Amino acid sequence: MVDFKIHFLGTSSAVPTKERGMSCIGISYENVLAFFDCGEGSQRAINEAGLGFNKECVVFITHMHGDHVVGLLGLLQTMSMNRRQKKLHIFGPKGIVDFVRMNKAILKFGLTFEVLVSEIKPGLVYNNPKFRVFAAEAEHSTESFAYVFEEAEKPGKFNTKKALKLGIPEGPLWSKLQHGSRVVSPKNGESVRPEQVLGPSRKCKRIGISGDTRPSKKLMGFFKGCDVLVFDSTYSDVHAENARENKHSTSREAATFARKARVKKLILTHFSARYRSVSTLVRQARKEFPLSFAAHDGMVYDVSLES
Ligand SMILES: [Zn+2]
Ligand SMILES: [Zn+2]
């Protein structure tokens, strides 16, 4: 089973509370880390979660509000203190390149590793053999992106008996078939197609991360059918007006959105500091979508257990 987990590292909006730190979500996938947002103090939460600072890692910023981006500076410095050698790539909206460059210059910090920073557009943002990350425009008070983290397609099960029957001996030819290439049987000279020996390709899981946003039509298409959706849930029903004004969502709006987008599970986050407990928000959400849950700092969600 693959290691595929979501780590909730900071679940507060705007200001930290005793229980909740600033926005940061980590996805660990087979020893590769992807962070979504990096609010102040994220490096402390990353350390407490035991995720380490030297792994292969990539960072996606949703938007240039302090509570989502200021922690990058601390994270870079902590990584450097840990003698990181591996390159780090940061993706984000317009302004992210200047933010990193200028702060590095003003604070005069040297790094032990290379940092690449890219300003993104909606669409495919990042691609490696293990996973892909897509971005779409969210609806917030400044340019903001939502992200989808998608596992790379997994080929179907290789049927060794069939391969042998078709005259393909174990070895490099099996590997070629597993990677989608046709081969010729050394025994009978006949061509064998991958479909003849591979089962149906296995379903890739998709995780949606909304960042700060109103529920929007554009995001509805983007998040359709996600296995897990992590959505802005800044307010409860009584503060619905604040949600509209500040371009955030209530937990009920997040849940209505999740139901319509036919996602399998909803995890609420980015709670206003005015709520010590978020059980009211969860209750309101469950009226619309029963599979709604609240994130809390330090929570780990094991995606590999999802059927
Ligand atoms: Zn925020
Ligand atoms: Zn914001």
pLDDT in tens, 163-205: 999 899 998 988 888 888 889 988 888 899 988 898 877 789 9
Nearest 5 degrees, angle CA 242-CA 235-CA 229? 125
| Active-site residue, selected from the candidate residues 37, 67, 212, 297 | 67
pLDDT at residue 175, as a whole number: 86
Contact 265, 227 (CB under 8 A): yes
pLDDT at residue 195, as a whole number: 87
Q: How far is the CA of 142 from the centre of ligand 2 (A)?
A: 7
The neighbourhood of ligand 1, an ion, using CB within 5 A, equals 13, 67, 212
pLDDT at residue 255, as a whole number: 98
Q: How far is the CA of 269 from the centre of ligand 2 (A)?
A: 13
Q: How far is the CA of 141 from the centre of ligand 2 (A)?
A: 7
d(C-alpha 293, C-alpha 110), whole Å: 41
pLDDT at residue 236, as a whole number: 97
The neighbourhood of ligand 2, an ion, using CB within 5 A, equals 65, 212
pLDDT at residue 108, as a whole number: 86
Question: Which residues lie below 8 Å from residue 116, measured CB to CB, with a gap of 6+?
Answer: 87, 88, 89, 90
What would the two tokens of residue 175 be? Answer: 């590997």
Q: How far is the CA of 215 from the centre of ligand 1 (A)?
A: 15
pLDDT at residue 8, as a whole number: 98
pLDDT at residue 253, as a whole number: 98
Q: How far is the CA of 140 from the centre of ligand 2 (A)?
A: 7
pLDDT at residue 150, as a whole number: 97
d(C-alpha 260, C-alpha 258), whole Å: 6
pLDDT at residue 48, as a whole number: 96
Tens digit of pLDDT at every position of the chain (307 positions): 789 999 999 999 989 999 999 999 999 999 999 999 999 999 999 999 999 999 999 999 999 999 999 999 999 999 999 999 999 999 999 999 999 999 999 988 889 999 999 999 999 999 999 999 999 999 999 999 999 999 998 777 888 999 999 899 998 988 888 888 889 988 888 899 988 898 877 789 999 999 999 999 999 999 999 999 999 999 999 999 999 999 999 999 999 999 999 999 999 999 999 999 999 999 999 999 999 999 999 999 999 988 7
For residue 68, CA distances in Å to 12, 154, 248, 269, 280 come to 10, 33, 14, 13, 25
Of 27, 218, 264, 9, give the one whose Cα is nearest residue 123.
218
Is residue 67 part of the annotated active site? The answer reads yes
pLDDT at residue 306, as a whole number: 80
pLDDT at residue 287, as a whole number: 98
Of the bound ligands, which one is closest to the alpha carbon of residue 39? 1
* Chain mean position to CA 250: 21
